[in-house]
A and B are shown apart, each in its own frame.
Chain A
Amino acid sequence: MNDDALGDALQSMWSDADPVPELLLQAGFESLAWRNLAGALARLTDDTAATGRELAHVRGGAARLLTFSRDEIMVVLELSSDDGALRLLGQLDPPVPADATVESPTGMRAVRADDRGRFQVDGLPHGRHRVSVTFDDGARLVTEWFDA
């Protein structure tokens, strides 16, 4: 068999024996529903887990800090494990009150950030999340998806 014939045989083999699961295609189609309609995307600019830094002072185990930025606004999330679930402490910078929603493909939790721009959500399932923030002047932003 020459290289091309061997390549064709490999492609057939994987098409037959390792196809893309049908349910996964369906989930792919449905992911368009997560299109970010109104908010501006805040990008991940720092992740202590990616650099091996850990915050050992947090009770219940090491925490991870994620920093998202958009224009002059920052959203800092401190993630820690609490009894098997995920605890999320958020800090808006500038520190102002706002509505915050933690979204995941399986549900969402809405909270209010206090006058110092802090919010907390306990008992989150581990998995993929993002946080959308609506400020009191109507401005919105949403973080990139993160896994925790």
Chain B
Amino acid sequence: MTGPRSTTAAQSRDSAGCAAVRADLAGLDGHELSTRRATEVRSHVAECADCAEVAAEHRAVRRTLAELALVPATPPADLLPALLEQAAAVGPRERLAVYGRGVVSGARPGVAAASAGVGAVAAAGLGVLAWRALRSRRTAVAGESA
């Protein structure tokens, strides 16, 4: 494969520079290099046909790799029925648990707030009842001892 640039004196002047750049070319397009290093590597690539060719190869390979994610894979025929059966086996208790986790985690803030309100009212009600019961018992005890 021949690079787009013609051979120049600049491209052969610094083989050590090329070696360092080649080591980093794998990260040039994936944003894995620091901004400063990426700028250095890009400016080298702009002047060096050999390194430009390697950089193009890296880009082409990465593009091909990205396309692998689009290769369709046909699931086995029995997978969907098995998954649906698994989902159908979920009982009311689990469904309630899913709902409850949403409330506790805050994923359903409205319901969480309403639940907290109901809980607070219920707790206050229980407190009042307990206080009344305690008071009437004290009154009764005081009456007996009098």
| Interaction A to B | no
